[in-house]
Amino acid sequence: MRRPLEGFERWDVVSVPFPYTNRPIEQRRPALVVGRCGGDGAPVFLWVLMITSAAHRRWVGDVEIGDLGAAGLPAASIVRTVKIATVEDVTARRLGTLDEETRLAVDDSIRASLR
């Protein structure tokens, strides 16, 4: 269980200003925390994967989110495991957490990409 001052943990679903690589804008989007670094007086950064609508065209490595209620998402969504960004934790707002089955599928997809 997370204590309030510990910040975000792996598998938290958050809302963050997700950068676009092909446009000079940012838009608040849901994302999945897969790692964090920093602290001890330095800024804390989150490694996040993009979450998008399941209606979008599928990419290799996409994982459908099983329990939308636990994730805090209103519509069918996927984790886009090939779309990773680093954001400061102060920009994030927690929406929910990823269910166990989807966590395993995301882990498998990430591992497959790193081979």
What pLDDT does residue 24 have? 72
Q: Which tens digit of pLDDT belongs to each residue from 33-84?
A: 999 988 888 888 999 999 999 888 899 999 999 999 999 999 999 999 999 9
**CA 52, CA 114: separation in Å to the nearest integer?**
22
CATH number for the domain including 48?
2.30.30.110
How large a percentage of the chain has pLDDT more than 70?
A: 90
Look-up of token digits 């591992």: 111
- For 58-76, b/e burial (b = at least 16 CB within 10 A) is eeebbbebeebebbbbeee
Total of domains in the chain: 1
Q: Which domain holds residue 100?
A: 4-113
- Residue with more model confidence, 29 or 4: 29
